[in-house]
Amino acid sequence: MRMRGLPGRGSTCMYVCCVPALLRWFDAIVRWSQPEVSDREVTGAEMAEVSLGKRKEKCENCTKQCIKKQTGDEDSRHHSTEVSAQEGGGAQLLLSACLSCDGCLSEEETLMISQQSLEDLHRVLELNKKCDASKHKVLVVSICPQSLPFFAVKFGLDVSEAAHKLCTFLKSIGVAYVLDTTVASGFSILESQTEFVSRYRRRSHDSLALPMFTSSCPGWIRYAERVLGSLVTPHICTARSPQQVMGCLVKDYFCKQKKLSPEKLYHVVIAPCFDKKLEAIREEFYNSVLESRDVDSVLTSGQVYELMQQRQVSVEELDPSPLDHILGESGEAEPQRLEGRGSDGFLEYVFKHAAKELFGLDVQEVTYSTLRNRDFQEVTLERDGETLLHFAAVYGFRNIQTLVHRMKKGRLPYQLVEVLSCPGGCLSGRGQAESEEGRLDRGLVQQMEEAYTSLPVRLPQLNPSIHTLYQDWLQGRDSPQSHALLHTTYRTLSHSSQKPPHMQW
At residue 131, the pLDDT reads: 66
pLDDT of residue 359: 96
Question: In sequence order, what DSSP letters do the residues of 369-412 get, joined into one string?
Answer: EESSSTTEEEEEEEETTEEEEEEEEEESHHHHHHHHHHHHTT--
- Per-residue model confidence (pLDDT) at position 352: 95
Cβ density class 174-209: b for 16+ within 10 Å, e for less:
bbbbbbbbbbbbbbbbbbbbbbbeebbeeeeeeeeb
| Start-to-end C-alpha separation, the chain | 56
Q: What CA–CA distance (Å, rounded) separates 9 from 304?
A: 12
Radius of gyration (Cα) for the chain, nearest Å?
Answer: 22
Sort strands 265-271 and 297-300 into parallel, antiparallel or unpaired.
parallel
Q: Which residues are CB-neighbours of 100 under 8 A, at least 6 positions away?
A: 18, 19, 20, 22, 23, 59
Backbone angles phi, psi at 312, to 5 degrees: 50, 50
**Residue 218: is it exposed, middle or buried by C-beta count within 10 angstroms (0-12/13-18/19+)?**
buried
Angle between helices 148-155 and 301-310 (to 10 degrees): 40
Backbone angle region of 160, left / alpha / beta, with phi > 0 → left and psi within -120 to 50 → alpha: alpha
460's CB contacts (< 8 A; 6+ apart) are 185, 186, 187, 189, 190, 338, 349, 466
Q: C-alpha angle 165/167/173, rounded to 5°?
A: 105
CA-CA-CA-CA torsion for 341, 346, 349, 350, nearest 10 degrees?
-140
Q: Give the domains, in start order, of the chain with CATH numbers.
A: 21-113 (no CATH), 115-184+241-335+463-485 (3.40.50.1780), 188-239+339-430 (3.40.950.10)
- Of 190, 189, 23, 173, the closest CA to residue 104 belongs to 23
For residue 115, the model assigns a pLDDT of 73
Cα 23 from Cα 79, distance rounded (Å) = 15
Percentage of the chain exceeding pLDDT 70? 74
Cα(404)–Cα(471) distance, rounded to whole angstroms?
39
pLDDT value of residue 496: 38
Q: How far lies 341's CA from each of 162, 214, 300, 354, in Å?
A: 20, 16, 20, 20
Predicted TM-score (pTM) of this structure: 0.78
* CA distances from residue 97 to 94, 101, 229, 359, 475 in whole angstroms, order as listed: 10, 9, 12, 42, 44
Q: What's the pLDDT score for residue 69?
A: 32
Which segments in the chain show pLDDT lower than 70? 1-106, 131, 290, 329-333, 341-342, 494-505
Nearest in space to 280 (alpha carbons), one of 252, 253, 240:
240
Q: Is 220 exposed, middle or buried (0-12, 13-18, 19+ CB in 10 A)?
A: buried
Q: Which of 184, 186, 241, 196 is closest to 459 using CA atoms?
A: 186
In the chain, count of helices (H) and strands (E)? 18, 13
